[in-house]
Amino acid sequence: LKINTGMNRLGVAVAEVPRALQLLQTAQIAQITLMTHFASAEEHDGVREQLQRFEQATAGLQLPRNLANSAALLRHTSTHADWVRPGIMLYGASPFDDQGAAELGLRPVMTLASEIIAIQQLAAGDAVGYSASFRASQPMRVGIVACGYADGYPRHASTGTPVLVAGQRTQLLGRVSMDMLCVDLSYLQQVEVGSGVTLWGAGLPVEVVATSAGTVSYELLCALAQRVPVTEVGSA
């Protein structure tokens, strides 16, 4: 029985809980669990009001409770109740802006990887990509990566978004294309066509990429296109 305590998305109003519960009990439902969803659990005081409404609405009811999403599970022990609902943390990503996954003891379970498929030598003044949104201020080496917005990489990611090439951190240059994006190879060692690229995941937290791209890690993890080959690797 989902109770709307302030998210105002789904769930019955607090005043409707007795009637809804009566209907379920009359229908002889075998197991009834009371639940709600927090709108601001990532904030340090973000569950207080909703938790109070939930406790008032369910006072005296001896039924299992299900409250905590990832942020509440990690930050608000008072919400743990009988069941918890970890979401983003199952991907090894942090639900917080002020704490990274590593600080929380989380490890990424999804790595979006590709490779360098071409290398361009630019002279000072040469542009990169559509609309010439990046222009080289000096001679530089640019790598072309086989990944673009049709694969789920954010089109709105701008110059400076971090990328790993052969385990070395560098940055995106210019506009993201449908099937390709460009990265700065100017100061990287031993990079050639075929060198591995990590767009997010192992060695490059998805929330770091999301923040740089002006979005949230949830969007990146959900946006992976069906055309992207997926390899499942079992844990040891």
User: Can you tell me the distance from the alpha carbon of 18 to that of 109, in angstroms, rounded to the nearest whole number?
Assistant: 42
In the predicted structure, residue 236 carries a pLDDT above the cut 80: no
User: Can you tell me the distance from the alpha carbon of 89 to that of 205, in angstroms, rounded to the nearest whole number?
Assistant: 12
Residue 39 bridge partners (DSSP): none
Q: Does pTM surpass 0.75?
A: yes
User: Could you tell me which residues come within 8 angstroms of residue 232 by beta carbon, excluding any fewer than 6 positions away?
Assistant: none
Q: Of 202, 187, 191, 102, whose CA–CA distance to 145 is shortest?
A: 191
How much is the mean pLDDT over the chain?
Answer: 95
DSSP assignments along 113-169, one per residue: EEEEEEEEEEPTT-EESGGG-EE-SS-EEEEEES--GGGT--TT--TT-EEEETTEE
pLDDT in tens, 19-29: 999 999 999 99
pLDDT in tens, 74-123: 999 999 999 999 999 999 999 998 899 999 999 999 999 999 999 999 99
Stretch 117-133: mean pLDDT: 96
> Both tokens of residue 184?
């700065």
User: Could you tell me which residues come within 8 angstroms of residue 112 by beta carbon, excluding any fewer than 6 positions away?
Assistant: 147, 151, 152, 153, 198, 199, 200, 201, 224, 228
Structural contact between residues 140 and 122, judged by C-beta atoms closer than 8 angstroms: yes
**Under DSSP, is residue 56 helix (H, G, I), strand (E, B) or coil?**
helix
**Per-residue model confidence (pLDDT) at position 235:** 62
